[in-house]
Amino acid sequence: MKNIKKKFGSVTALRGVDLEVGENEVVGLLGDNGAGKSTLIKILSGVMPPTEGEIYIRGEKINPREYSVNKARELGIETVYQEKALGEKQPIWRNIFIGRHITNRFGFIDVDKVKQESQKIMREIMGLTGEGASPESRVSTLSGGERQGIAIGRAMYFDADLVILDEPTMALSLKEVDKVLKFIQKIKDSGKSCVYISHNITNVYPVSDRFVALDRGEKVGEYLKDECSLDELNEALILATERKTG
């Protein structure tokens, strides 16, 4: 992404940000609330077009008018949103296959197949084996970790080349955070790329390759993990944001 700018009316959320994600690289996007992280992610995943700037995927320039969530998925970009993006009143199987069910020629859903696949995703990716775990369960009956599991399982199942995670560890128990980190490691091990957003650097430091810091809509720093310990990274981040304030 090159020189991405986004304005909402008179509010400028992004003032020209470059972001690059290499093949098989895990990039952490860091910054305070309102730094523009989520906006940048939403532009990358096709939810909203940028006001200005260019997006390249595998070296090819993307026409912002034709870019959409569905297009992004076609190109292998899957996103796990902070708000999980789940329908509370709907059963798990509908949530996993939302917008792209296995259908016949006329668009009718092959419910048996979809439920079978959902069961598989729940067992193999989410590690849900309990008796209550049925694809028929409504999302409103699940815990925060289980919901995150569905959102992640969904991204995994569709075999993305780039997985974007927005605050994946927020409001999760320690055990669940561990699961998410293992998941990021799995993405890396399978040769794919990942961008994640986080407040908590300590958690995600071990699984990352590179960090990008945003502040008030601008990129204020970029650090390679190999050149920078956790403490140094912490200090650098504080310095970077202070310099701007001062």
Partner 1 sequence: MNNKVKEFARRHSLEIGLMVITILVWILFIITSPRTFLSPRIYRTFMSTVPFVGLLALGLTFVLAIGEIDLSFPSTMAVGGMCFGLTFAATNSIVLGILAALAGGLVVGLINGILVTKVGMPSIVATLGMMFFLRGFVTLSTDGSAISLRALGDHTLYPVFSGTFLTIPMQTVWFLFLSVFLGFILYRHQFGDNVLFVGDNSHTADLMGISVSKTKIAVFVIMGMLAALSGTMDVFRLRTWWPTQGQGYFMTAFATVFVGGTSMKGGQGTVFGTFVAAFLIGSLEAGIVAAGLAGFWTQLIYGLIIVVSVSIHTYLRRLGIT
Contact between 94 and partner 1 by CB under 8 A: the answer reads yes
Quote the least distance from Cβ 50 to partner 1, whole Å.
17
Quote the least distance from Cβ 244 to partner 1, whole Å.
31
- Among 2, 7, 15, 101, which residue sits at the site for partner 1 (rule: CB under 8 A)? 101
Cα–Cα distance for residue pair 203/174, rounded to 1 Å: 10
Token pair recorded at residue 144: 């925060």
- Among 69, 133, 170, 228, which residue sits at the site for partner 1 (rule: CB under 8 A)? 69
Contact between 103 and partner 1 by CB under 8 A: the answer reads yes
Which span (4-12, 15-23, 118-126, 133-141) binds partner 1, by CB under 8 A? 133-141
- Among 67, 81, 211, 223, which residue sits at the site for partner 1 (rule: CB under 8 A)? 81
Taking alpha carbons only, the member of 165, 137, 140, 138 closest to residue 151 is 165
Cα–Cα distance for residue pair 86/91, rounded to 1 Å: 10
- Among 99, 130, 132, 246, which residue sits at the site for partner 1 (rule: CB under 8 A)? 99
- In the region spanning residues 25 to 64, those forming contacts with partner 1, defined by CB under 8 A, are 46-47
Spatial contact of 110 and 104, defined as CB atoms under 8 Å apart: yes
In the chain the first and final C-alpha atoms are separated, in Å, by 29
Say which residues have a Cβ less than 8 Å from residue 153's Cβ, sequence separation at least 6.
Answer: 96, 121, 122, 125, 126
Contact between 137 and partner 1 by CB under 8 A: the answer reads no
Spatial contact of 91 and 176, defined as CB atoms under 8 Å apart: no
Contact between 67 and partner 1 by CB under 8 A: the answer reads no
Quote the least distance from Cβ 166 to partner 1, whole Å.
10
Cα–Cα distance for residue pair 122/22, rounded to 1 Å: 30
Cα–Cα distance for residue pair 48/125, rounded to 1 Å: 29
For binding to partner 1 (CB under 8 A), which residues are involved? 46-47, 68-70, 73, 79, 81, 83, 85-90, 94, 97-99, 101, 103, 106-109, 111, 136, 138, 140-141
